[in-house]
Structure 1
């Protein structure tokens, strides 16, 4: 009995000294596989008289030594400073490259802006010269048109006179002599001196069944004026049942300008505003002792505002209408950003421009 009690006492004594009872920090820092494996193993039965291992006689390092060895392996301030310096040097190199690219782009932008300003100045000078030339060409056109109309002062254009049958020769002088004497209420055989009389060329848009106009030049200007004014008063002039109209022969440029101004003349007629055509070419209106005139397409907006006419699109009959396009707004020049030091107390601060 005594031997059984001694055996059980000897077998239970090491159980209180198992490694699982110890709480060591080493298992959280190092390789704790073996220690963990030992913790899960059952304690071996010790023979009689065996003694538990003494912790003071173990060859394993203590907790304090483990912690000290782990702390010595952590990075120090010097290591962190060296790491930050390395990162800053890398960033400085990249920033220098970026700053060089930005500086190059800034120089190119500044050069482009200077070139654009030079081009804008040249464009302004060219535009002013173009406007001057346009005014001079417009003046020359008016003078040339006036000379052409003065050369046609004795001319009359008769529209609606039927052409003779094919194969029958036509004598425009005889036809016009009888027509003009009828307008003047004179004997039909009264002589009228014509410098020339002929049919006009057929326009492209004129239907083939309509007769061509007859253009004549009367030698006596007062007689021509009398025929023209009486023809305008007499609206019922016919030859063989065909209505006939007598016009003043004008230059083609004058006719084109009058056709272009038809929207304005129609608006004036609707408002019972009297107007007249002047020479050199002009559309003149006198209202409340104030004269308003159109001599070129540039005068149309002011003319419409002064007479309260509706705004209408009018064809440019000269081809020289100025396009007063506004100048491009001035842009600020390229400016370099002021240099700033990132950290004055850092030895590598000067090497990293911003």
Structure 2
């Protein structure tokens, strides 16, 4: 084997001995070294320091010593395994936490679904109960209207009779006796027995110059019916230049229900279709020997379809749901006044009294 001097003389110098190779190798190891893990690599170097060095390395070479130092600072297989194990443990711990949260959310979602299903069942039962109660209330309302109207069978409501001048006491019985005798074509002094007679309260929307209605109860029911029938036959009755009309005194709920059906009655009048009101409340039309009746809001669509009337909205005929969408007004939240006040402290006391600012 040739010596080192002979190899150099032959021109076959090794590539590791050239300055460029040494510089590039040191730069590579320097770039691959992590300065933040020097302590950890130093401990690994101490563990591997007892191993015998490479037989080709020169103990006195500075470059070999630097390379060996860089090699000892590189992470070993055990270091990588420890690092991966640490990452795996961290991921496993976080995954277990996420799994527990997902399971908890799943349980809560299941509870919410069960609660929602129970609420839906309760809502369906409540809706059915509400419909039943609404039907029962409507029936009771009509029965109450019937009782109220039976108590008003002898009553008449007269509209259009002028009121007495201010300061003059009016005698309703005397006025009504004169009007009814005129309707019956009898002498005006003919006696008529009244149980009571009075002026109605003035509605809010009634003009001030319009007289209030006169309400009376006639003791003799056949006489009341005769007055009512002849008053409808004589529709041109006037007193002091004002038209006088006689109506049957009905319960306020019945009048409200009839007002709610005004679009339908107007359409019937335009088509010259005769109709009549039944008691306690019903609108009846006899067309081609077939009777069509409205006694509840559910009867309106079929009634309009059978008589070929234009569709129109009808309010609740019982007056129980006049404003179903009404909401209770909420009070505004308390806010501090933007106006600044000066406080005047009284001497000897801890009480401060606000004073009003003088205008500029």
Q: Give the alignment's TM-score, normalised by structure 2.
A: 0.66
Give the alignment of 1:290-305 within 5 angstroms.
290-305=290-305
Deviation at 1:168, TM superposition (A): 3.7
Partner of 1:309 in structure 2? 309
Partner of 2:178: 178
Count of residues in correspondence between the two structures: 287
Displacement of 1:132 after TM fit? 1.9
2:243 paired residue number: 243
Partner residue of 2:23 out of 4, 12, 27: 27
The equivalences for 1:95-114 within 5 A come to: 95-114=95-114
Deviations along 1:16-54, one digit per CA (max 9) or x if unpaired, are: 99x99958644332159xxxxxxxxxxxxxxxxxxxxxx
Change (3 A) 1:20 1:61: closer
Whether the aligned pair in 2 keeps the contact of 1:304 and 1:310 (CA below 8 Å) is yes
SS at match of 2:157: strand
Partner of 1:136: 136
**Residue segments in structure 1 that go unaligned for 5+ positions in a row:** 1-12, 33-56, 324-354
**Given that residues 253 and 319 in structure 2 are in contact (C-alpha distance below 8 angstroms), is that contact kept between their aligned partners in structure 1?**
no
Change (3 A) 1:75 1:309: farther
Q: Is the 8 A contact 2:194 2:217 kept in 1?
A: yes
1:87-124: per-residue Cα shift (whole Å, max 9, x none)?
A: 33322211110111111122122222222222332232
Note if 1:159 corresponds to 2:159.
yes
Residue 81 to residue 322, structure 1, CA distance change in 2 (3 Å): farther
**CA 20–84 in structure 1, closer or farther in 2 if over 3 Å, else same:** closer
Residue 130 (structure 2) pairs with residue 126 (structure 1): no
Equivalent position SS for 1:131: helix
Kindly indicate whether the alpha-carbon contact (under 8 Å) linking 2:315 and 2:322 is maintained by their aligned counterparts in 1.
Answer: no
SS at match of 1:30: helix
Larger RCO (CA within 8 A; separation ≥ 6):
1
RMSD: 4.0
Residues 77 and 308 from structure 1, CA distance in 2 versus in 1: closer, same or farther, beyond 3 angstroms?
Answer: farther
Match of 1:47 in 2: none
1:84 to 1:274, Cα distance in 2 relative to 1, 3 A: farther
Contact 2:138–2:318, Cα closer than 8 Å, also in 1:
yes
Distance 1:322 1:123 in 2: 23
Partner of 2:202: 202
Partner of residue 253, structure 1:
253
The alpha carbon displacement at 1:322 in A equals 12
Which segments of 5 or more consecutive residues in structure 2 lack a partner in the other structure? 1-8, 29-57, 324-360
Assess, with a 3 A threshold, how the Cα gap between structure 1 residues 67 and 211 changes in structure 2: closer, same or farther.
Answer: same
Counterpart contact for 2:292–2:303, Cα < 8 Å: yes
| TM-score of the aligned structures, taking structure 1 as reference length | 0.67
Displacement of 1:140 in angstroms is 0.9
